[in-house]
A = this chain, B = another copy of it.
Amino acid sequence: MISNLETTQKGMQIMDALEEGLAKRVCNRLSELDSDLPRLITDYAFGSVVARPGLDLKVREMITVASLITLGNATPQLELHMKAALNVGVTPEELLEIVIQMAVYAGVPACMNGLASYRKVMNDKGLTLPGLKQEAI
């Protein structure tokens, strides 16, 4: 977790793997507030924690989506990480399963809010909803 040029670059690479151009966009926004603030995201969140070798990026995005649905008050971040999950190989069907399982643990309202974000993300990416691929009930 040494925060040096290497850590910063590793963090930014992960951010860009999640969404093209994300690292630069977030750093520009945050540096308007404070010159050290971008490193909170690049070096700490992504470079030192998400970059750890023990889990692949696909699983890391899956557990992040589960956490954000459970928190229930971070819709922009939930939608960013749902798109990121799709970008690193989580399938639309797997993503939907995560949202549905949260009904058990975080409650049905958290699940319903998660489904609304899921629809928006699928629509923004031009993807067909899983249930519409097959015959409806």
Interface residues, chain A, CB within 8 Å of chain B? 1-4, 7, 27, 30-41, 43-45, 48-50, 52, 54-55, 59-60, 62-74, 76-77, 93-94, 96-98, 100-113, 115-116, 118-119, 129-132, 134, 136-137
CB distance from A48 to the nearest CB of B (A): 7
Tell me if A's interface is mostly helix, strand, loop or mixed. helix
Cβ–Cβ contact A64 & B31, under 8 A? no
Closest B residue to A95 by beta carbon equals: B54
Cβ–Cβ contact A40 & B49, under 8 A? yes
Closest B residue to A7 by beta carbon equals: B3
A71: B residues at CB distance < 8 A: 70, 72, 105-107, 109-110
- How many subunits of this chain does the assembly comprise? 6
Identify which of A38, A45, A116, A134 gathers the most chain B CB atoms within 10 Å of its CB: A45
A70: B residues at CB distance < 8 A: 66-67, 70-71, 106
Known: A35-B131, A67-B69, A110-B74. A98 touches B40 (CB 8 A): no
